[in-house]
Every structure is written in structure tokens, then in C-alpha cells.
Amino acid sequence: MIDESCVFCQIVAGTLPSEIVCRDEHFVAFRDIAPKASTHLLIVPRSHVCDLDQWVDEKGSSDSMLAFVRQVGRDLGVSGRYRLITNVGSAAGQVVFHLHWHMLAGDDLPGF
Ligand code: AMP
């Protein structure tokens, strides 16, 4: 399903410009527009799902998405030295309500 008002659906569809770094049939990885580390990617499913809880409710697990995340880490050369975050709900800081993992890496990675 696609939500035409969703910025990440627009990026996946190619109607909103972005720097896509990896993609497959189900997932897309692109650079965050306001990076918080030298490598800051967003990894999203092509289908519009609002957050991780909804994804797991619908798919039963996040295994396939995390396998893609791992491959992105390999492709970007950050395997073994990245941070992965997903915000679920506005109280946790979620601003874009299309499931996304933040993949952060680099010598400038802020403390957590
Ligand atoms: P969150 O607070 O987890 O919902 O994170 C949303 C992220 O999306 C933020 O880090 C934003 O910088 C990023 N973002 C918003 N719009 C765009 C865009 N058009 N292209 C790339 N990243 C975006």
C-alpha cells in the first residue's frame, strides 16, 4: 500500500528526490536529509506501514527487514560499527509515520 501524502512513499516512488544507496524488491535505503553522523541512512519498506509495531503485527517478524539492514551495512562498508534506531510513536520522537530504521555510523557518532 502507498500513501501519496507520505514523504517516504514519495521517495520510494521516485517523485521526491533523495539519495538512494540500496534497494531491493521490498526495501529502500537512502540518506537522511539532516544527517546526525557522517553516515546516516534511513531504511524503509516500500509499502506504507506506520511503525515497527504495525510491521510486526502484519508480517509476524522483522527478520526480512533486518536482513536487508545487514546487507546495507555491508554495502556501505560499516558492518560491525553502526547504530540502529527506530522510533515508534511521537512520544519516542517519531516524526515521519512510515516505518524507518536510522542507520548511523562514523567517527562523529554522538553518544547515546
Ligand atoms: P523520525 O524522527 O524517526 O521520524 O525521523 C525522521 C527522519 O526523516 C529525520 O531524521 C529527518 O531528517 C528525515 N527526513 C525527513 N524528510 C526527509 C527527506 N525528504 N529525505 C530524507 N530524510 C528525510
Residue 18 DSSP label:
-
∠ CA 67-72-76, nearest 5°, is 155
Q: Which residues of 22-50 are buried (b: 16+ CB within 10 A; e: fewer)?
A: beeeebbbbebeeeebebbbbbbbbbbbb
Q: Please choose from 15, 20, 96 the residue to mutate so as to test ligand 1's pocket, defined by most ligand atoms within 8 A of CB.
A: 96
Local mean pLDDT, 10-residue blocks, the chain (112 residues): 94 97 98 96 98 97 97 97 97 98 91 80
**How close is the Cα of 17 to the center of ligand 1, in Å?**
13
Supply the pLDDT for residue 110: 77
Q: Please choose from 30, 33, 97, 103 the residue to mutate so as to test ligand 1's pocket, defined by most ligand atoms within 8 A of CB.
A: 33
How far apart CA 102 and CA 33 sit, in angstroms, is 12
Torsion, CA 18, CA 23, CA 27, CA 31, rounded to 10: -30
Name every protein residue with a CB atom under 6 angstroms from any ligand 1 atom: 7, 16, 18, 32-34, 42, 87, 93-96
Supply the pLDDT for residue 98: 98
Residue 14 class from Cβ within 10 Å (0-12 exposed, 13-18 middle, 19+ buried)? exposed
pTM reported for the whole predicted model: 0.97
Supply the pLDDT for residue 109: 87
Supply the pLDDT for residue 101: 98
